[in-house]
Amino acid sequence: MTSATTAHSVVEPSATTRRFAGSLVVLYAVITMIPLVWIMLTAFKSPDDAISYPPKVLFKPSLEGFCNLFTTRSRQTPEFIRSLGPPQGMCDDIARSRNMVVAGPSNYVPRFVNSLIIAFGSTVLAVALGTLSAYGFSRFRVPLKDDLLFFILSTRMMPPIAVAIPIYLMYRTIGLSDTRLGMILLYTSVNVSLAVWLLKGFIDEIPREYEEAAMIDGYTRFQAFVKVVLPQATTGIAATAIFCLIFAWNEYAFAVLLTSGNAQTAPPFIPIIIGEGGQDWPAVAAGTTLFLVPIVVFTVLLRKHLLRGITFGAVRK
Amino acid sequence: MAQIKVEALDKSFGDFHAVKSASFTVEDGQFLCLLGPSGCGKTTTLRMIAGLELPTAGTIRLDGEDVTMNRASARDIAFVFQLFALYPHMNVRRNIGFPLKCEGIGAAERDRRVVEAARILRISHLLDRSVSGLAGGDRQRVALGRAIVRKPKCFLMDEPLGALDTEMREAMIHELRALHDRLGATTVYVTHDQLEAMAMADRIAVMNNGVVEQVASPRDIYDRPASLFVADFIGSPPMNFLPFRGGLQTGAEAIRLGERDVAIPAAREAMAESELVLGVRPEHVRFTDRGMVRGEVYGTEYLGTTQIVTVTTSYGALKARSPSSRSFRTGETVGLDFRPDTLSIFDKASGRAIRTALHEGVAHG
């Protein structure tokens, strides 16, 4: 009789399996990163490098794209430019080399600020409303609970843009067109269904005993909710907030239709840049690159929660 | 500390009648166990006392004050949950201090009382640990700490030892009883485990199908069960039941069982001819050759110092407890005799125990 030696674990994946899985992940990451990297590279190219063929991977970095993004310029005769004093900063210098002068700031910053206000505003509102209603649905005997939940979910069964025309007419009538408030309300109403369903899952997982213990200890239900339920739901709230924010931040169709100046967000503004004097790809790429920053920062800040959040229910704490 | 008086308490969840007119009193400083199988309404009763459920009818008085419809937070009680309900986002110290924070007690005083509670429960060394890393018994001690730190009117405990392993459970039974003796707090304790109830309670309320079947001391519950259910539920193995038909006169000291007369404690009420049940505990069955019931040994269960002998008789299988020194052969014919002064008689239709000399000197409450 010889005894079998089992040096390897039966349940752990083997080294080969791990390497194969690892290379798949890397491959996927590379494929998804290429467009992003290309956009970031383009942002630092000069307009000529940006449209050169074959495409340039190595190039002399330039900030012209960012200058064009943040400024409006007007074309002038070389004589006029020479008659001006010394250039006002780097962007003026670049513009003069192309026979232009900086006329003033572009609309990118106000559009970006609109995006921030509308996206974060609607996220806060959607998550707050979602948490409260999810708690209600999770804990109380609500009449027609299942029907109400289905109704809430059903608002997501069609693409939101299907109701764009009615909303456009409605907003024009009640004066919400091209207002930040209007956009916040719109994105909130789209996101709140997602928030209710996601958060209900999380809150269902929190045993009622925690609130009951707090209520017996002398707290009101609302205090128990704030002090005991919310801290335990942070993972779910963070995950939900990221999903809501990404939707509101990236939303394009409603923004094109419902905003023009006052409340216009960055997504409909960025493509407009291209029309101003030639195909200014570096400026568009610079606008897109900066546009990515808030979501990346927000996601990185909450990534621990996000990772635990999207696998919720799979593993008991 | 306080007296808890529960009167005609009713609770329905839709069509389901969970608690049916439950009444009992827990005197100041008493330890009462609500005992019954799962789904009997014991936890619902406890939750109504706590204010976590509102009764459909009936009243609950704490020290004479009607608190039936009061909010849980207004009742000044402490509740210990089966799954501990320790707040995972707080450490042990903050968990124990949480009820005090609500009362607006200052940090210094709060800390003093948390340390005191931890000392009583011998968890001082755990105060700054996270609750998620604690063993089951320590978690339960933290939960108890959260209960005792506030010095409430009474403690309500919902199967607090249910989630612990056997060894820890044994230890905690003694600890809980010792804690009760030390604090003298009125306690209502829900369990489905008769050993827990027997070991800890001053009084036991046995519940079944939403009805309180009997409220009495552990000894009375065991020796003088008020109903067939209590007799069957308490004791391991449970009481033997011998069905027979007959009537009883007040003062009768024997019943007719088949061909023989069986001596019983003197009847204190009359019973017309009806279906009755004779109840006898396994340890009150004696083996004698002249026994009034005869049967065949079916098998034995060895328990160390004693053994349980199952005997097939014309009244069904009877279990008898016998010293394990005596040996039985399967199939052997034996005669059985019962100790007369310990027998119970029940009315089969209602399940109620018929009053006999057995019940004398026992206060019913």
- Whether B365 is covered by a domain: the verdict is no
Structural domains of chain B, count:
2
Task: Burial-class residue A33 by CB neighbours within 10 Å (0-12, 13-18, 19+).
Answer: exposed
- Whether B279 is covered by a domain: the verdict is yes
| Shared domain check, B275 and B152 | no
Q: Quick check: ipTM above 0.90? A: no
Interface test with B, best of A216, A219, A225, A315 (most B CBs within 10 A): A216
Domain end, chosen from B168, B191, B223, is at B223
Owner of token pair 């259910």: B229
What average pLDDT does the segment B45-53 reach? Answer: 93
| Shared domain check, B245 and B190 | no
pLDDT value of residue A52: 83
Classify each residue of B111-131 as buried b or exposed e, where b means 16 or more C-beta atoms within 10 Å of its C-beta. Answer: bebbeebbebbebeebbeeeb
Each residue's pLDDT, cut to its tens digit, for chain A (317 residues) gives 455 666 667 777 888 889 999 999 999 999 999 999 999 999 999 888 888 888 888 888 888 889 888 988 888 888 888 888 888 788 888 888 888 888 888 889 999 999 999 999 999 999 999 999 999 999 998 899 999 999 998 888 888 778 888 999 999 999 999 999 999 999 999 999 999 999 999 899 888 888 899 998 888 889 999 988 998 888 889 989 999 999 999 999 999 989 888 889 999 998 888 765 677 889 999 999 999 999 999 888 888 777 665 554 443 43
User: Pick the residue with more confidence: A82 or B49?
Assistant: B49
- Whether B154 is covered by a domain: the verdict is yes
Smallest CA–CA separation between B79 and chain A, in Å?
Answer: 7
User: Pick the residue with more confidence: A276 or B168?
Assistant: B168
| Shared domain check, B197 and B128 | yes
Domain end, chosen from B189, B223, B257, is at B223
Least confident of A227-236, A302-311, B218-227, B315-324: A302-311
Predicted confidence (pLDDT) at residue B365 exceeds the cutoff of 50: no
| Shared domain check, B235 and B141 | no
Q: How many CB atoms lie within 10 A of CB B132?
A: 11
A315 touches chain B (CB under 8 A): no
| Shared domain check, B235 and B163 | no
| Shared domain check, B132 and B177 | yes
| Shared domain check, B265 and B233 | yes
Q: Can you read off the two tokens belonging to residue B52?
A: 């976590």
- Whether B270 is covered by a domain: the verdict is yes
| Shared domain check, B282 and B172 | no
Interface test with A, best of B98, B150, B155 (most A CBs within 10 A): B98
pLDDT value of residue A116: 95
DSSP structure class, residue B92: H
Q: How would residue B122 be classed by pLDDT, with cut points 50, 70 and 90?
A: confident
| Shared domain check, B213 and B99 | yes
Q: Which chain A residue has the Cα nearest residue B47?
A: A212
Q: Which amino acid is at B302?
A: Y
Using a CB-CB cut-off of 8 Å, the residues of chain A touching B51 are: 215-216
Domain end, chosen from B202, B223, B244, is at B223
- Whether B364 is covered by a domain: the verdict is no
**B255-298 pLDDT tens trace:** 888 778 888 898 888 888 899 999 999 999 999 888 778 899 99
| Shared domain check, B244 and B193 | no
CA distances, A147 to each of A126, A142, A195, B268, B360 (Å): 21, 10, 17, 61, 61
Q: Can you read off the two tokens belonging to residue B208?
A: 């079944």
The CATH number of the domain holding residue B296 is 2.40.50.140
Smallest CA–CA separation between A218 and chain B, in Å?
Answer: 4
Question: Which of B78, B89, B103 lies closest to A232 in CB terms?
Answer: B89
pLDDT value of residue A286: 93
d(C-alpha B59, C-alpha B65), whole Å: 10
Q: Which residues pair with A181 in a beta bridge?
A: none
- Whether B290 is covered by a domain: the verdict is yes
> What Rg do the C-alpha atoms of chain A give, in angstroms?
26
What average pLDDT does the segment B319-332 reach? Answer: 91
Q: What's the number of CA atoms in the CB half-sphere (13 Å) around residue A135? A: 19
| Shared domain check, B310 and B296 | yes
d(C-alpha A250, C-alpha A56), whole Å: 29
Q: Which domain holds residue B202?
A: 4-223
Contact A215 B71 (CB under 8 A): yes
Domains of chain A with CATH codes: 63-106 (no CATH), 109-310 (1.10.3720.10)
pLDDT value of residue B363: 47
| Shared domain check, B276 and B172 | no
- Whether B32 is covered by a domain: the verdict is yes
The CATH number of the domain holding residue B111 is 3.40.50.300
